[in-house]
């Protein structure tokens, strides 16, 4: 079982690297890339994270009120952090409105935390059974491409330097390995996982709707951005339902 957890976590890391590489290649089409990123994040939140919160809550007899409280807390946390950074930015010349490296770092940090939990999810799945572990690993690997893509896009959009963007991608990519290894020593409480996922879902919802989508429309063609957003949502629906 240990070997399966390690190998599948490494595959998940590799998929994130591929997603980040694709984002770097698409930097000349930033409006479309941002639209796609927003759609992927919305789909991840609606079709993966929130359903998982409800599944865990039902299975563990946990009131869904608390994960939804952390959902709102996650949404407000990023909103407050972003506005605080932008208030500071208003005194600094040279940055585009609503764009700042620290915002990109904050958003990437959230995705890095999610990447770590991806590895934990693989390990916890195998603690239940090999079949459940394999199914969870397949789902994680399926959306790790999107995680690498999103991490890189968020860093680039918020004007982080190339070396910092690459470092964020490297950290996000390898986190599932550490998460998977952690589960070899102890297990994570399902209730804690549900509360964390609620917080992270709110965090992502703000990033997609309050940050990325408005910028996607300001970067270029709104029609193309809308089309790519819808495509991103469809991609995540297919991955979470059929992959």
More confident residue, 152 or 186: 152
- Give 208's DSSP letter: I
Encode pLDDT of 107-127 as tens digits.
788 778 878 888 888 888 787
Q: Which two tokens stand for residue 209?
A: 């709707």
Indicate the pLDDT class of residue 139, thresholds 50, 70 and 90.
low
Q: 40-94: per-residue pLDDT in tens?
A: 889 888 998 899 889 889 988 999 999 999 999 989 987 887 677 554 444 444 4
Exposed, middle or buried: residue 138 (CB in 10 Å: 0-12, 13-18, 19+)? middle
Nearest to 196 by CA among 8, 76, 12, 50: 50
Q: Which of 56, 240, 49, 230 is nearest to 143 (CA)?
A: 240
User: pLDDT tens digits for 64-78?
Assistant: 999 999 999 989 987
Letter string b/e over residues 75-114, b meaning 16 or more CB atoms within 10 A of that residue's CB: bebbbebbeebbeebeeeeeeeebbbbbbbbbbbebbbbb
Q: Residue ranges of the domains in the chain?
A: 2-242
Residue 136 has pLDDT above 90, yes or no: no
Residue 50 CB: number of other CB atoms within 10 A?
20
CB-CB contact of 90 with 151 (8 Å): no
Whole-angstrom distance, CA of residue 12 vs CA of residue 143 = 9
Coil/strand/helix, residue 10: helix
């Amino acid at each position: 079982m240990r070997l399966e957890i390690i190998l599948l976590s490494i595959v998940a890391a590799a998929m994130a690297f591929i997603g980040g590489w694709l984002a770097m290649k698409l930097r000349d089409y930033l409006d479309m890339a941002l639209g796609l990123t927003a759609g992927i994040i919305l789909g991840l939140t609606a079709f993966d994270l929130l359903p998982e919160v409800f599944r865990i809550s039902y299975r563990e007899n946990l009131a869904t009120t608390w994960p939804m409280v952390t959902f709102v807390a996650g949404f407000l946390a990023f909103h407050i952090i972003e506005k605080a950074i932008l208030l500071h930015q208003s005194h600094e010349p040279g940055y585009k409105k609503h764009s700042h490296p620290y915002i990109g770092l904050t958003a990437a940090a959230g995705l890095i935390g999610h990447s770590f939990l991806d590895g934990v999810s693989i390990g916890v799945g195998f603690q239940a059974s090999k079949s459940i572990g394999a199914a969870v690993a397949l789902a994680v690997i399926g959306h790790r491409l999107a995680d690498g893509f999103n991490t890189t896009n968020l860093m680039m959009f918020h004007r982080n330097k190339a070396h910092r963007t690459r470092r964020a991608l490297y950290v996000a990519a390898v986190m599932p390995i550490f998460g998977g290894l952690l589960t070899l020593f102890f297990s994570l409480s399902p209730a804690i996982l549900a509360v964390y996922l609620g917080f992270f879902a709110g965090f992502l919802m703000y990033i997609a709707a309050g940050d990325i989508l408005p910028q996607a429309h300001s970067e270029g063609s709104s029609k193309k951005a809308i089309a790519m957003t819808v495509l991103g949502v469809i991609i995540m629906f297919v991955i979470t339902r059929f992959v």
